[in-house]
Amino acid sequence: MEVKRLFDLFDLVKLLDKKTLIAVNAIDGHSLEAIADAVNAGIVTAIVTGDSQKIQHQCEVNGIDHRLFQIVQADTEEAAALQAVKLAKSISGSILMKGLISTDKYMRAILNKEMGLLPSGGVLSHVSVIDNPNYHKLLIVSDVAIIPVPTIPQKIAMTHYLKEMAVTLGIARPKIAIITPTEQVLPSLVSCTDAVEIMNAAENGQFQPAIVFGPMALDVALDAESAQIKNITSAVAGDADCLLFPNIDAGNVFYKVNTKLCGADQAAIVMGANVPLVLSSRGDSKQTKLNSIALAALLSK
């Protein structure tokens, strides 16, 4: 089944075995509402770490039955994070979600060398699925939140994650655009020279069954008329499923323009750990958090 729009995601996830969502220090109403909605939708069971009195108070304030999930007491944010990571390691088919905790503390627990969730030599990357009403299908993009200036090996790992996400969403042969300001290989632009290296990996079959093309400007990747005017004949042109951004500046701006100006719906997870990680922004809506939980449930093994 191909997920053509984000709301289709929930129908697909309901067909799978129910996963366990573990929320780190979810003592805020926004997170608890999204978790309760996910439990009531039948896509996860949930465990929440944090101050049990604060959690129960927020549930009462927001009209949530705290019995919907298990509460694991933790006195500090750091303790809540470590408790959650330990649970994620011990429970098969689990998902880790950031609650009211700084990203630094959340990531520190995940990256803990003795107890964390990152495999040796692993690369963490943020992958977003954007449902923009002005584009004819879903867009899968990376990286908007984790890697500031990715190296070529990191970009290769990110391309693999884009492909994996697309295939999981039912896209048999994903079309991945390596985004740069221009289709010309300009030595002065790192994004362009990096694109050449990624294309070398693609030509060696590293990203099968995906079709990868770059360097490619954003207008060419998304608009067939622009591709025709510029005489770009790649199958990716005007029909990209996935966008690999050159750095976090470009990716983050694209994500927020879609969110704030285009009426787009979105979901996002961090890939590369032993379990999918939900890393929502404080500015993300309850619906975005719910979408992200569903996406993580789809990716959870």
Residue range 195-208: mean pLDDT, rounded: 96
Q: Please say whether the structural domain 8-118+273-299 has been given the CATH code 3.40.50.10950.
A: yes
By DSSP bridging, strand 94-98 and strand 19-24 are: parallel
Contact 141, 268 (CB under 8 A): no
Digit-coded pLDDT (tens) for 16-45 = 999 999 999 999 988 899 999 999 999 999
- The predicted structure's pLDDT at residue 208: 96
pLDDT at 166 over 80: yes
The count of residues in the chain is 301
pLDDT at 249 over 70: yes
Provide the percentage of residues in the chain whose pLDDT is more than 90. 87
Q: State the distance between the two ends of the chain, measured CA to CA, in whole angstroms.
A: 18
Angstrom distance (rounded) from CA 116 to CA 185: 40
Angstrom distance (rounded) from CA 266 to CA 248: 17
Digit-coded pLDDT (tens) for 250-288 = 999 999 999 889 999 999 999 999 999 998 776 677 888
- The predicted structure's pLDDT at residue 282: 65
Residue range 53-73: mean pLDDT, rounded: 96
Kindly report the number of other CB atoms within 10 A of residue 120's CB atom: 5
The domain locations on the chain are 8-118+273-299, 125-261
- The predicted structure's pLDDT at residue 286: 81
- The predicted structure's pLDDT at residue 284: 75
Q: What is the CATH number of domain 125-261?
A: 3.40.718.10
Using the 8-state DSSP alphabet, how is residue 274 labeled? S
Digit-coded pLDDT (tens) for 104-139 = 899 999 999 888 899 988 999 999 999 999 999 999
pTM > 0.85: yes
Kindly report the number of other CB atoms within 10 A of residue 119's CB atom: 10
